[in-house]
Structure 1
Protein backbone atom coordinates (compact mmCIF):
# COMPACT_ATOMS: atom_id res chain seq x y z
CA UNK A 1 0.00 0.00 0.00
CA UNK A 2 2.90 2.33 0.68
CA UNK A 3 4.12 1.91 -2.91
CA UNK A 4 0.67 2.38 -4.42
CA UNK A 5 -0.06 5.39 -2.25
CA UNK A 6 2.69 7.36 -3.93
CA UNK A 7 1.55 9.98 -6.39
CA UNK A 8 1.02 8.70 -9.95
CA UNK A 9 1.42 4.99 -9.13
CA UNK A 10 -2.22 4.00 -9.51
CA UNK A 11 -2.56 6.22 -12.55
CA UNK A 12 0.27 4.35 -14.29
CA UNK A 13 -1.43 1.04 -13.48
CA UNK A 14 -4.73 2.39 -14.76
CA UNK A 15 -3.27 3.67 -18.03
CA UNK A 16 -1.47 0.38 -18.71
CA UNK A 17 -4.49 -1.77 -17.85
CA UNK A 18 -5.89 -1.87 -21.43
CA UNK A 19 -2.55 -2.89 -22.91
CA UNK A 20 1.10 -1.98 -23.52
CA UNK A 21 2.13 1.62 -24.13
CA UNK A 22 5.36 3.27 -25.17
CA UNK A 23 6.87 5.82 -22.82
CA UNK A 24 5.82 8.83 -24.91
CA UNK A 25 2.21 7.71 -25.23
CA UNK A 26 2.04 6.88 -21.53
CA UNK A 27 3.53 10.28 -20.72
CA UNK A 28 0.91 11.98 -22.94
CA UNK A 29 -1.91 10.16 -21.14
CA UNK A 30 -0.51 11.06 -17.74
CA UNK A 31 -1.21 14.77 -18.16
CA UNK A 32 1.02 16.86 -15.94
CA UNK A 33 3.29 14.06 -14.70
CA UNK A 34 6.85 14.97 -15.68
CA UNK A 35 8.98 12.59 -17.73
CA UNK A 36 11.45 12.20 -14.88
CA UNK A 37 8.68 11.37 -12.38
CA UNK A 38 7.14 8.88 -14.79
CA UNK A 39 10.54 7.20 -15.21
CA UNK A 40 10.94 6.93 -11.44
CA UNK A 41 7.44 5.52 -11.03
CA UNK A 42 7.87 3.00 -13.84
CA UNK A 43 11.16 1.81 -12.35
CA UNK A 44 9.56 1.36 -8.92
CA UNK A 45 6.64 -0.57 -10.44
CA UNK A 46 9.08 -2.75 -12.36
CA UNK A 47 11.06 -3.43 -9.18
CA UNK A 48 7.82 -4.43 -7.45
CA UNK A 49 6.97 -6.85 -10.26
CA UNK A 50 3.82 -5.00 -11.33
CA UNK A 51 5.10 -3.63 -14.66
CA UNK A 52 7.49 -5.07 -17.24
CA UNK A 53 9.41 -3.38 -20.02
CA UNK A 54 9.00 -5.22 -23.28
CA UNK A 55 11.78 -5.75 -25.85
CA UNK A 56 10.18 -3.03 -28.03
CA UNK A 57 10.69 -0.63 -25.06
CA UNK A 58 6.95 -0.34 -24.33
CA UNK A 59 5.57 -1.02 -20.88
CA UNK A 60 2.88 -3.46 -19.86
CA UNK A 61 1.40 -4.84 -16.70
CA UNK A 62 2.81 -8.08 -15.35
CA UNK A 63 0.10 -10.48 -14.12
CA UNK A 64 0.09 -8.99 -10.56
CA UNK A 65 -0.37 -5.53 -12.11
CA UNK A 66 -3.20 -6.85 -14.27
CA UNK A 67 -4.91 -8.23 -11.17
CA UNK A 68 -4.47 -4.87 -9.46
CA UNK A 69 -5.95 -3.12 -12.51
CA UNK A 70 -9.00 -5.36 -12.30
CA UNK A 71 -9.33 -4.60 -8.59
CA UNK A 72 -9.43 -0.87 -9.43
CA UNK A 73 -12.42 -1.21 -11.77
CA UNK A 74 -15.04 -0.78 -9.00
CA UNK A 75 -13.25 2.39 -7.88
CA UNK A 76 -13.37 3.66 -11.46
CA UNK A 77 -17.10 2.90 -11.69
CA UNK A 78 -17.74 4.70 -8.42
CA UNK A 79 -15.76 7.75 -9.56
CA UNK A 80 -17.72 7.94 -12.82
CA UNK A 81 -21.03 7.83 -10.94
CA UNK A 82 -19.79 10.49 -8.53
CA UNK A 83 -18.59 12.78 -11.34
CA UNK A 84 -21.90 12.36 -13.15
CA UNK A 85 -23.72 13.66 -10.08
CA UNK A 86 -24.70 10.29 -8.75
CA UNK A 87 -22.73 10.59 -5.53
CA UNK A 88 -25.97 10.12 -3.61
CA UNK A 89 -27.30 7.42 -5.92
CA UNK A 90 -27.55 3.92 -4.58
CA UNK A 91 -26.41 1.48 -7.33
CA UNK A 92 -28.95 -1.01 -5.96
CA UNK A 93 -31.78 1.39 -6.75
CA UNK A 94 -32.70 0.93 -10.38
Structure 2
Protein backbone atom coordinates (compact mmCIF):
# COMPACT_ATOMS: atom_id res chain seq x y z
CA UNK A 1 0.00 0.00 0.00
CA UNK A 2 2.88 2.36 0.69
CA UNK A 3 3.88 2.19 -2.97
CA UNK A 4 0.42 3.29 -4.12
CA UNK A 5 0.60 6.34 -1.86
CA UNK A 6 3.69 7.72 -3.57
CA UNK A 7 3.28 10.67 -5.88
CA UNK A 8 2.81 9.79 -9.57
CA UNK A 9 2.29 6.05 -8.99
CA UNK A 10 -1.48 6.08 -9.49
CA UNK A 11 -1.16 8.42 -12.45
CA UNK A 12 1.34 6.08 -14.14
CA UNK A 13 -1.01 3.14 -13.57
CA UNK A 14 -3.91 5.17 -14.97
CA UNK A 15 -1.96 6.05 -18.12
CA UNK A 16 -0.77 2.46 -18.65
CA UNK A 17 -4.23 0.95 -18.17
CA UNK A 18 -5.30 1.21 -21.84
CA UNK A 19 -2.10 -0.42 -23.10
CA UNK A 20 1.69 -0.22 -23.44
CA UNK A 21 3.45 3.12 -23.71
CA UNK A 22 7.01 4.19 -24.33
CA UNK A 23 8.80 6.28 -21.74
CA UNK A 24 8.56 9.56 -23.66
CA UNK A 25 4.85 9.18 -24.39
CA UNK A 26 4.14 8.23 -20.79
CA UNK A 27 6.08 11.25 -19.56
CA UNK A 28 4.21 13.53 -21.98
CA UNK A 29 0.89 12.26 -20.68
CA UNK A 30 1.94 12.76 -17.07
CA UNK A 31 2.54 16.49 -17.41
CA UNK A 32 4.77 17.85 -14.66
CA UNK A 33 6.42 14.55 -13.69
CA UNK A 34 10.18 14.79 -14.24
CA UNK A 35 12.03 12.14 -16.21
CA UNK A 36 14.02 11.08 -13.16
CA UNK A 37 10.91 10.72 -11.00
CA UNK A 38 9.06 8.78 -13.69
CA UNK A 39 12.05 6.50 -14.15
CA UNK A 40 12.18 5.88 -10.40
CA UNK A 41 8.43 5.19 -10.19
CA UNK A 42 8.54 2.78 -13.12
CA UNK A 43 11.43 0.93 -11.51
CA UNK A 44 9.47 0.66 -8.25
CA UNK A 45 6.43 -0.64 -10.12
CA UNK A 46 8.61 -3.17 -11.95
CA UNK A 47 10.20 -4.31 -8.69
CA UNK A 48 6.71 -4.80 -7.22
CA UNK A 49 5.68 -6.88 -10.24
CA UNK A 50 2.97 -4.41 -11.29
CA UNK A 51 4.58 -3.10 -14.48
CA UNK A 52 6.74 -4.89 -17.04
CA UNK A 53 9.18 -3.46 -19.56
CA UNK A 54 8.71 -5.13 -22.91
CA UNK A 55 11.37 -6.05 -25.44
CA UNK A 56 10.36 -3.01 -27.53
CA UNK A 57 11.14 -0.87 -24.44
CA UNK A 58 7.52 0.06 -23.81
CA UNK A 59 5.94 -0.33 -20.40
CA UNK A 60 2.75 -2.27 -19.71
CA UNK A 61 0.80 -3.53 -16.76
CA UNK A 62 1.63 -7.08 -15.70
CA UNK A 63 -1.17 -9.50 -14.82
CA UNK A 64 -0.89 -8.24 -11.22
CA UNK A 65 -1.07 -4.66 -12.53
CA UNK A 66 -4.20 -5.45 -14.52
CA UNK A 67 -5.79 -6.96 -11.41
CA UNK A 68 -4.78 -3.90 -9.39
CA UNK A 69 -6.20 -1.66 -12.12
CA UNK A 70 -9.56 -3.42 -11.87
CA UNK A 71 -9.62 -2.78 -8.13
CA UNK A 72 -8.64 0.87 -8.65
CA UNK A 73 -11.44 1.27 -11.22
CA UNK A 74 -13.86 0.37 -8.45
CA UNK A 75 -12.33 3.04 -6.18
CA UNK A 76 -12.39 5.66 -8.96
CA UNK A 77 -16.02 4.80 -9.74
CA UNK A 78 -16.95 5.19 -6.09
CA UNK A 79 -15.10 8.51 -5.97
CA UNK A 80 -17.02 9.86 -8.98
CA UNK A 81 -20.36 8.77 -7.52
CA UNK A 82 -19.49 10.23 -4.12
CA UNK A 83 -18.30 13.57 -5.53
CA UNK A 84 -21.51 13.81 -7.60
CA UNK A 85 -23.45 13.19 -4.39
CA UNK A 86 -21.54 15.98 -2.63
CA UNK A 87 -22.30 18.41 -5.47
CA UNK A 88 -26.00 17.53 -5.25
CA UNK A 89 -25.99 17.98 -1.46
CA UNK A 90 -24.19 21.33 -1.61
CA UNK A 91 -26.66 22.58 -4.26
CA UNK A 92 -29.46 21.92 -1.78
CA UNK A 93 -27.85 24.09 0.91
**CA RMSD for the aligned pairs?**
1.7
Task: Note the residue ranges of structure 1 that are not aligned, 5 or more in a row.
Answer: 90-94
**TM-score, normalised with respect to structure 2:** 0.84
Give distance in 1, aligned partners of 2:37 and 2:70.
24
Task: Note the residue ranges of structure 2 that are not aligned, 5 or more in a row.
Answer: 89-93
2:28 aligns with: 28
Counterpart secondary structure, 1:31: coil
Count of residue pairs the alignment pairs up: 87
1:87 aligns with: 85
Q: For residue 13 of structure 1, report the CA deviation from its aligned partner.
A: 1.0
The 4+ residue runs of structure 1 with deviation greater than 3 A are 78-81
Q: For residue 3 of structure 1, report the CA deviation from its aligned partner.
A: 1.1
**Aligned residue runs from structure 1 range 1-94, under 5 A:** 1-81=1-81, 82=83, 86-88=84-86
Larger proportion of helix = 2
Counterpart secondary structure, 1:87: helix
